[in-house]
Amino acid sequence: MKFKKPQTLEQIAKIIEAKSIGNANFEILGINEIHVVEKGDIVFVDHPKYYDKALNSAATTILINKEVDCPEGKALLISDDPFRDFNKITTHFNPFIASKVNIADSAIIGENTIIQPNVFIGNHVIIGENCVIHPNVTIYDNSVIGNNVTIHANTVLGADAFYYKNRPEGFDKLISGGKVVLEDHVDLGASCTIDKGVTGDTRIGKGTKIDNQVHVGHDTVIGKKCLIASQTGIAGCVIIEDEVTIWGQVGTNSGITIGKGAVILGQTGVTKSVAGGKSYFGTPIEESREKLKQLAGLKRLLKEK
């Protein structure tokens, strides 16, 4: 999540009431999670296991719960609860604004786009030309939709990420400040749910077609010309490369990559990253031919007994 204008280390420290280490005028451009940080970003870390990863990442400001040596060219924000203060930053720069109308005045809708009855379109949504948005679709704030996109009834774009910290008093949610981006010629079936990114974008690439009742988790990036069948559940932070086919009732772990042109057969559990250009089946996932050989061999053994 980038700020609308650059901030200084001193300004951010005041917002979250934290101690800062570094030049007071050190420039900060936004906040991001560790897997997508860039120069100018703040990243938070609250466990010693991940200190080195955060300190050596592309992030140039580290929000951390221990005073450590500051890497050259970077700055630190010292907090007793980085998770809480990361939420403070998100809320400060991207506050929730309640809507009072079905289609926000700030929404931009392109020519020849059809909006059916009972659609909700939030603040600062952008929808391109020649789209069809069917009844009861909900499009949360800041979503971006390209040209020639079709979204079927009851689909939801931009719900919060499923991301919580387990505290003694209960689960504490990491506030989502990202958005959903649909590129041109994307089709979404009925009752799909596409969660926004925590700090970045959940993105669906040009020409991808998604069936009914598919869930896409936060910060997932789906490539171009993919086909995803009904009742598939894709976790957060997954990368699905171009021209992947995923058949019905597939589930994935978070943080994995499915390579270009891969085919995932129905009811497979994608428990790890897989290379492109191959067909896969089963849980745990394996190449489909190998898995089917194993099942055939097991069947022969059972017959012999």
The token duo for 39 is 């120069």
Of the candidates 134, 152, 215, 218, the residue annotated as catalytic is 218
Quick one: tokens of 171?
A: 């689960």
Compute the average pLDDT of residues 120-147. Answer: 98
Residues 57, 60, 66, 69, CA torsion sign = positive
2-93, which class in CATH?
A: alpha beta
Question: Active site includes 218?
Answer: yes
pTM metric for this prediction: 0.93
State the pLDDT at residue 31: 97
Element spanning 170, H or E? strand 170-173
Provide the pLDDT for residue 101: 97
Nearest to 151 by CA among 178, 106, 120: 120
Report the CATH number of the 108-290 domain.
Answer: 2.160.10.10
Other CB atoms within a 10 A radius of the CB of residue 46 amount to 20
Nearest to 257 by CA among 273, 233, 275: 273
pLDDT in tens, 16-54: 999 999 999 999 999 999 989 999 999 999 999 999 999
Q: Give rounded-to-5 percent helix, strand, coil for the chain.
A: 15, 30, 50
Report d(CA 195, CA 175) in Å as an integer: 12
At 251-260, the pLDDT tens digits run 999 999 999 9
Rg of the Cα trace of the chain?
A: 22
> Domain-by-domain residue ranges, the chain?
2-93, 108-290
Mean pLDDT over residues 86-102, rounded? 96
